[in-house]
Amino acid sequence: MKHASTWRAILAGCKVLQHGLIKRVVDGESTDIWGDRWILDHFGARPITPREDRHPALVSQLLLDNGLWDEALILDRFFPIDAEAILRQLRGRAQSDFWAWEPEKFGVYTVRSAYKLVFTRKSEALFVQQPSSSDDGPWKKIWKLEIPPKVGDECHMNFCQRDRSYAGDMWNR
């Protein structure tokens, strides 16, 4: 039994790493456009443009000889939302592409940021609901919990901070 729980923990840790690691582009030679996570703050850090044979495979193919983005190529081959995100990417100053921890500004992994990533992903999963006639799905579940009122209010405040537009609606009831 001990070994099974150890392996479960290792596999869970691998999943966290898969969601938190991102490739920082320097020369683009080792970064796969379609396979690696490399676009900051963008749909899973990959382009959403469907891949075609005419599309380049490596990020280096999106760069000009002077190291700048080939804007014409990018605008021609990618959806506008992808093109905008790619052109917004800053390139690193190391010698070659490298892996970094996306949740941290300087790209260094911390246990704290990994826990925060896990919590955020689990919180987001709470909001994935079956279609309903009302947008109150998560709130109904929260308010039906049998917990002391003070804890419920604290929980409500935390969720409201995540969705301020909804918070305004709740306070006006």
Query: Measured on CA atoms in the order 94, 96, 102, 107, is the torsion positive or negative?
Result: negative
Q: Other CB atoms closer than 10 Å to residue 158's CB: what's the count? A: 10
List the beta strands (DSSP E) in the chain.
Answer: 21-24, 98-101
Q: Which pLDDT value is given to residue 124?
A: 73
Tell me the pLDDT of the chain averaged across its residues.
Answer: 81
Helix (H) or strand (E) holding 39: none
Q: Which residue has the higher pLDDT, 63 or 134?
A: 63
DSSP string, 119-147: HHHHHHHHT-----S-S-HHHHHHHHS-S
For the stretch 30-72, pLDDT in tens is 999 999 999 988 988 999 999 998 889 999 999 999 989 999 9
> pLDDT band at residue 171, thresholds of 50, 70 and 90?
very low
Q: Which residue has the higher pLDDT, 161 or 32?
A: 32
Q: Other CB atoms closer than 10 Å to residue 111's CB: what's the count? A: 7
- Hey, where are the domains in the chain? 2-101, 130-171
Over pLDDT 70: what percentage of the chain? 73
Is the CB of residue 53 less than 8 Å from the CB of residue 122? no
Q: Which residue has the higher pLDDT, 123 or 150?
A: 123
- Burial class of residue 142, CB neighbours in 10 A (0-12, 13-18, 19+): middle
For residue 33, report the phi and psi dihedrals to the nearest 5 degrees: -55, -40
The single residue listed with the structure tokens 């919590």 is 119
Q: Which pLDDT value is given to residue 166?
A: 45
Q: Which pLDDT value is given to residue 93?
A: 80
pTM: 0.62
Q: How far apart are the first and last CA of the chain?
A: 51
Q: How far apart are CA 47 and CA 34, in angstroms?
A: 7
**Range in 71-75, 110-114, 156-160, 168-172 the model is least confident about:** 168-172
Q: Which pLDDT value is given to residue 167?
A: 44
Contacting residues for 123 by C-beta, under 8 A, at least 6 apart:
162
Structure-block tokens of residue 27: 């020369």
